Amino acid sequence: MSDPLIHARGLTVRRGAREVLRAVDLEVRPGEVLGILGPNGAGKSTLLRALLGLVPATGELRVDGRPSARLSARERAGLLAYVPQRSHLQAGLAVREVVGQGRYAAGGHADDAVTTAALARLGLEGLQERAFPTLSVGEQQRALIARALATGARALLLDEPTAALDVRRALETFALLRELADEGRAVVVVVHGLDEARRVADRLILLREGAVAATGSPREVVAADPIREVYGVELVEGGALGFRLSED
């Protein structure tokens, strides 16, 4: 088994006197999709941002075997790529420029081959000259994933990437995450729905009030007892609608 790309022990985030994330342990290895699951306010996005070094956290956090705190901003960006739920970009930058921002840490630019390849992989060639704020939410999401791919980072950390997507785009995004993991990247994805959590992840972490309530395979975590304990609902097996991408 390969060494973990991200290794956290006792990861804790405080806001004032309150602990919004409490002593979380996790490991993510190349080739693996780790899903972070939990109800609203459980600390899913905070955990993702703590792994990225975007919020101050205590505990042990190592990225590619090195203490995260000792990594420069560029080094960290070369290892971990972030896909936010929504970008705060309101300026009218062209999509190619936005995707090209992913090349900053590597010293590349918006016109290089890596940017072009990332645009092509997300099917954005036809939109590359459009201003980013004029895109639909789903198209913006694809541009942000393309930007993350352009970084060349070995791990992708995504915050609810399918929250604003229709069912087809959501399934395509899950398929892409699986491809990226199969290519050797580590993928950490915050998911909101239980069905999509089971669909996309190799392993799941279920959070409740900032602490790990359950961890393991999707079958172990999305199971009657943990779901009842965390969400206060009963799991009805086979009761939900299922979808898959059409052959054509």
Partner 1 sequence: MLVLAGVLALASFAALRVGSVEAEGEVAAHILSLRGARLVAGFLAGAALAVSGVMVQGLFRNPLASPSILGTTAGASLGGQLALLLAQLAGFGVSHPELLVPFGCLAGALLSLAVLLVFVRRASDRLTLLLVGFVLGSLFLSLGGLVTSVAQERWELGRAVVAFALGSLGGVGTRQVLFAAPLVLGGFVAALLWARPLDLLLSGEAEARSLGVDVHRVRRWVVVWVSLLVAASVSMSGSIAFVGLVAPHALRPFVGELHRRLLPAAALAGGAFVVLCDVAARALPSRGEVPLGVVTGLVGAPLFLFLLFRGRREAVGE
**Among the listed residues 29, 44, 62, 76, the single contact to partner 1 using CB under 8 A:** 76
Smallest separation (angstroms) from partner 1 to the CB of 82:
4
Nearer to partner 1, 30 or 78 (CB): 78
Residue count at the site for partner 1 (CB under 8 A)? 29
**Among the listed residues 30, 39, 59, 78, the single contact to partner 1 using CB under 8 A:** 78
Site map for partner 1, 131-170, x if CB under 8 A?
Answer: ----------------x---x-------------------
Smallest separation (angstroms) from partner 1 to the CB of 109:
9
Smallest separation (angstroms) from partner 1 to the CB of 148:
9
Smallest separation (angstroms) from partner 1 to the CB of 101:
5
Nearest-angstrom CA–CA distance, 109 and 13:
35
In terms of DSSP bridges, do strands 80-83 and 155-159 run parallel, antiparallel, or are they unpaired?
Answer: parallel
Binders of partner 1 among residues 34 to 73 (CB under 8 A) are: 49, 52-54, 72-73
Nearer to partner 1, 23 or 85 (CB): 85
Q: Which stretch binds partner 1 (CB under 8 A): 76-84, 112-120, 193-201, 202-210?
A: 76-84
Q: Is the separation of the CB atoms in 13 and 19 below 8 Å? A: yes
Which one-letter amino acid corresponds to residue 133?
P
Binders of partner 1 among residues 86 to 125 (CB under 8 A) are: 87-93, 97-98, 101-102, 104-105
Interface ranges with partner 1 (CB under 8 A) = 49, 52-54, 72-74, 76-78, 80-82, 84, 87-93, 97-98, 101-102, 104-105, 147, 151
